[in-house]
């Protein structure tokens, strides 16, 4: 199935090549040679494609979406130049997560918690028990794994956000974790052609004064919402992002679902303040540096 598209693309390239050759050479004889070559190539391509097609037992099997494969990049001039309504706000700026502004929602956690499914509940309780014993529990971010969404949004380093007409790029200074939120009208990328990621596949659109972002296709390995609460490949986040206080505060309501790990919607609202007097610096998580920090060495952690 997945080989059909390249085959068709190959045919298309051959056709374009034939047209170009025809225009340059402007010769009937040479044109006929090219056509003969084209016929041979098409026959060869068909010979490759037919066995693949005939090998399919389910004719209705999902195919890669042409709209995604043909999607112009967010930075392509063609895409950037498309006429679009003026967005209600511009998120461009450095945003700082503030524990003081988030005392009512769990700060780095997301309280109140949803009703956890048994396996997730057991992990969560093991994390709570470890904390009472002074141990970090599967603190993968401390061991240099990506925090991923949503945790990458609540690190106490600046979140550098750049808004373009087609895309919003957020770079968290800590480990330079990046999320790309596409706002150019494209659908989610087909997981057949885009692998899972820690930031997820994020698609945004405007509704009134709110930016709605839906993120799917997350990588669940070493990926936690908060201590002891894992995610599955069914994890999904819908965010409602607003600017408040004359643009000085960014507010983001997370609606998180994961039917494997908890019941219903897990809703939590976080806030950031605009932090103009800052730029990002390099902040990699390096194993040799980590090894001599008391908080991240092996003795302080349950892995």
Partner 1 sequence: MRNFKRLVALFLITSVSALAHHSAVMFDRDKEVTVTGVVKEFAFTNPHVSIQITVTAQNGTTTDWSFEAASTRGMVNVGWRKSSIRAGDKVTLVGRPLKDGRPGAQLVKAILSDGTVLTSSGGENY
Exactly one of 79, 94, 105, 296 binds partner 1 (CB under 8 A); that residue is: 296
Does 105 sit near partner 1 (CB under 8 A)?
no
The stretch near partner 1 (CB under 8 A) out of 32-40, 74-82, 94-102, 205-213 is 94-102
Q: Single out the residue of 212, 207, 223, 210 nearest to residue 261, CA to CA.
A: 223
Q: What is the CA radius of gyration of the chain?
A: 25
Among 91, 123, 130, 153, binds partner 1 (CB under 8 A): 130
- Binding segment for partner 1 (CB under 8 A), chosen from 37-45, 87-95, 154-162, 236-244, is 154-162
Pair of tokens at residue 91: 């998120």
Please tell me the number of Cα atoms within 13 Å of 253 on its side-chain side: 9
Q: Tell me how long the chain is.
A: 303
Residue list 194-253, contact with partner 1 (CB under 8 A):
227
Per-residue interface string for the shown chain with partner 1, residues 168-197, x marking contact by CB under 8 A: ------xx----------------------
- For 280, counting Cβ atoms within 10 Å of its Cβ (0-12 exposed, 13-18 middle, 19+ buried), the class is middle
> What residue ranges in 77-223 does DSSP mark as E strands?
93-97, 136-137, 159-163, 167-172, 177-182, 201-207, 210-216
- Does position 28 interact with partner 1 (CB under 8 A)? The reply is no
Q: Which of 91, 120, 136, 189 binds partner 1 (CB under 8 A)?
A: 136
Residues that bind partner 1 (CB under 8 A): 96-100, 108, 130-131, 134-137, 139, 141-142, 154-158, 174-175, 227, 278, 281-285, 289, 292-297, 299-300
């Amino acid at each position: 199935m997945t080989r059909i598209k390249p085959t068709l693309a190959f045919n298309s390239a051959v056709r374009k090549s034939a047209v170009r050759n025809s225009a340059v050479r402007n010769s009937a004889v040479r044109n006929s040679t090219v056509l003969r070559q084209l016929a041979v190539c098409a026959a060869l391509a068909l010979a490759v494609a037919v066995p693949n097609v005939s090998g399919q037992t389910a004719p209705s099997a999902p195919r890669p979406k042409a709209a995604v494969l043909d999607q112009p990049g967010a930075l392509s001039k063609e895409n950037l130049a498309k006429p679009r309504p003026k967005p209600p706000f511009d998120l461009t700026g450095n945003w700082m997560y503030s524990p003081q502004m988030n005392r009512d929602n769990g700060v780095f956690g997301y309280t109140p918690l949803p009703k956890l499914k048994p396996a997730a509940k057991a992990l969560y309780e093991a994390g709570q028990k470890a904390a009472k014993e002074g141990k970090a529990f599967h603190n993968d971010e401390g061991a240099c794994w990506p925090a991923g969404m949503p945790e990458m949004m609540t690190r106490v380093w600046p979140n550098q956000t750049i808004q373009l007409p087609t895309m919003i790029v957020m770079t968290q200074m800590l480990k330079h974790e990046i999320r790309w939120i596409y706002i150019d009208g494209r659908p989610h990328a087909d997981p057949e052609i885009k692998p899972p990621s820690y930031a997820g596949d994020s698609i945004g659109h405007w509704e009134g004064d709110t930016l709605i972002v839906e993120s799917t296709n997350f990588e669940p390995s070493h990926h936690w919402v908060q201590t002891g609460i894992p995610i599955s490949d069914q994890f999904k986040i819908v965010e409602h992002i607003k600017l408040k206080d004359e643009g000085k505060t960014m507010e983001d309501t997370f609606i998180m679902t994961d039917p494997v790990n908890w019941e219903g919607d897990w809703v939590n609202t976080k806030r950031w303040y605009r932090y103009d007097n800052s730029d990002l610096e390099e902040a990699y998580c390096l194993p040799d540096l980590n090894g001599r920090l008391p908080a991240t060495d092996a003795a302080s952690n349950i892995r």
